[in-house]
Amino acid sequence: MVFAPGEKPGQELEEVKLQNASKQIVQNAILQAMRQVSQESLRRESRPSDSRGWGQLGGRELTKKHEKK
């Protein structure tokens, strides 16, 4: 085997290890993101079908109280 100046025989093995670790990190991040999207989709499906939502109704009530003052 011929090595470039400053290159050590074990560097190639270390580079492969780093590449594999990087791939694993990316795969884990993708799986975590997919789980999160799936959980959020399930939460949205389980909500009541009232399209107004609690936050919007509460905002209207606050506005009406403010206007009466």
Q: What is the pLDDT of residues 12-59, one digit of tens each?
A: 999 999 999 999 999 999 999 999 999 999 999 987 665 555 555 555
pTM above 0.75, yes or no: no
Residue 2 pLDDT more than 90? no
In the prediction, which pLDDT does 47 show?
79
The more confident residue out of 38 and 5 is 38
Give the number of other Cβ atoms within 10 Å of residue 32's Cβ.
Answer: 10
pLDDT at 22: 98
